[in-house]
Amino acid sequence: MHAYTPALLAALALTSAAAQAATTNKLSASDVIKASQPSEWRPLDPGNTLYMDLPAGRVVIELAPEFAPKHAANIRTLVKEHYFDGLVVLRSHDNYVAQWGDADEKNPRPLGSAQAKLAAEFTAPMANDKHFVRLPDHDGYAPQVGHSNGFPVGRDPKTKTTWLTHCYGMVGVGRDMDADSGSGTSLYAVTGHAPRHLDRNITVVGRVVSGMPLLSSLPRGTGPLGFYEKPEQNVPIKSIRLAADVPEAERSHLEVMRTDSASFKAVAESQRNRPGPWTKVPAGYIELCNVTIPVREQAR
């Protein structure tokens, strides 16, 4: 059983006009978002939000420590000690991923107090996931799928495990053949069609909530697997910082729609059965990675 708070129970019980209208195919996702209530949104946690500043702009990444606590902690250590500053985006694989880290394999950058290898966190105990809301639609990669606190997740009640899924914008940890060879020094974001076959084979640590076009529009690498072959092709990283370490005036003030809210349920429903005169045959189905998780600027 979930330990729901009274406020959360109230949100789950809410049958707003927006949710009802979306269920009967009267509202689009944008209409639902406009009609949502302030209580159905949550701000990003500055202690688990990363700002990756590239020459073209800022990529905002939200970590998910409930699913990969050791990797999230190691990444925070790397960021605090400025490990990524001056490194590069070194790979852009068409319809797959953009990856960043240290391009110098012969003389790699010291890790400071961060760990070089961590035990894989491909899955987490279901007990860690207290915010799961299941999608009714079937899925080919997991017995159950849904959303947890702003992240797409899979679940297996038989093994009592849960995991983050490889949807567009999700951020994972590069590794070698050994399952325990990753640390967070090499990270990637999914930029193509969801490679769900990677689920439970790589540690996933979070998702890009803003700035995906800066990664998905990068020139494709010409080397094997999309790696850049020449140093001048690499995209320099100005810095990666924790939002908590950035002055308030320099922060990106974003909020995510709560995935346990009535409006989020209505957003999913509006995408399952797209309304309007253009749609001739509503799908009656929504694939996990096609459910939009709305993000917006906070009202100030």
- pLDDT bucket at 18, cuts 50 / 70 / 90: low
Confidence (pLDDT) at 17: 52
Torsion of CA 4, 39, 132, 285, to 10 degrees: 140
Q: pLDDT value at position 138?
A: 95
> In the β-sheet with 41-43, what is the strand arrangement from edge to edge?
41-43, 254-257, 295-297
C-alpha separations of 43 from 12, 110, 209 in Å: 19, 34, 12
3-state SS class at 188: strand
Check: pTM over 0.75? Answer yes or no: yes
R_g of the chain, CA atoms, integer Å? 20
Can you list the alpha helix ranges (DSSP code H) found in 121-234? 212-216
pLDDT tens for 63-114 read 999 999 999 999 999 999 999 999 999 999 999 999 999 999 999 999 999 9
Q: Over the stretch 191-204, which tens digit does the pLDDT of each residue have?
A: 999 999 999 999 99
Could you give the CA distance from residue 155 to residue 157 in angstroms, rounded to a whole number? 6
Segments making up each domain of the chain, as ranges: 44-256
pLDDT at 118 over 50: yes
CA distance 40 to 283: 27
Q: Please, how many CA atoms are within 13 Å of residue 172, restricted to the half-sphere of its CB?
A: 28
> According to CATH, what is the number of the domain 44-256?
2.40.100.10
Kindly state the percentage of the chain with pLDDT values over 90: 86
- Lowest mean pLDDT of 10-14, 45-49, 87-91, 163-167, name the range: 10-14
pLDDT in tens, 199-251: 999 999 999 999 999 999 999 999 999 999 999 999 999 999 999 999 999 99
Mean pLDDT of the 254-262 span? 97
DSSP, res 180: T
